[in-house]
Amino acid sequence: HTTYWSLLDCSNRDKLYQELIETKELLEKQSQELLEMATIDPLTGLLNRRELNNRSGRLFSQAQRNKSSVALMIIDIDYFKNINDTYGHAFGDDVLQHLGKTLLKSHREHDVVARYGGEEFVLVLPDIDDANALNIAEKIRCDIETTKINGVNITVSIGVSINKDNKNEFDVLFKEADSALFKAKKNGRNRAILY
């Protein structure tokens, strides 16, 4: 190899070195793009369901160690099927993107914000009490209700759950929040209910 390198003149060595740097940068960029494809919902820019599970798992373990609270909220767009049927799927996508932006705007640094699927979104909020969790849910609900999207009003229903006795399990809180969401929908929609 030494002979090979000594045979190359300086300009060839510099060119080879430059190509290696460019190849490395390209691989890093592709690696970052693959990571984003695996973790980010392309429509809303929020975390996807798989990454929600990864991050909330770590967050719940940490809360268990610290004996701290965690709240989970499920946000569901009211009458989303009717929105799609009436205004078309492109408008439905606009609604999902708008909700994604609203959630990104209103979350704290350590909160986990994800699109769970369809028109359902999930927030996991560490170190919060039930009153503050409900206040955040209510603020999100009001922000959505008071903003027109292409001249159309949209509302959301939100189910909120908070861990009790430091039992930090995603599945348990999710079921409770889902139950509160069902109650919010049953009681007329456009409301946030704490389990």
Which position among 19, 119, 138, 169 bears the catalytic label?
Answer: 119
> Could you tell me which residues come within 8 angstroms of residue 77 by beta carbon, excluding any fewer than 6 positions away?
83, 95, 96, 99, 119, 154, 155, 156
**Is 25 marked active-site?**
no
- Rounded to whole angstroms, the Cα distance separating 52 from 123 reads 9
What does the block give as tokens for 128? 């919060």
Spatial contact of 68 and 163, defined as CB atoms under 8 Å apart: no
Spatial contact of 122 and 159, defined as CB atoms under 8 Å apart: no
Q: Give the residue numbers marked as catalytic.
A: 119
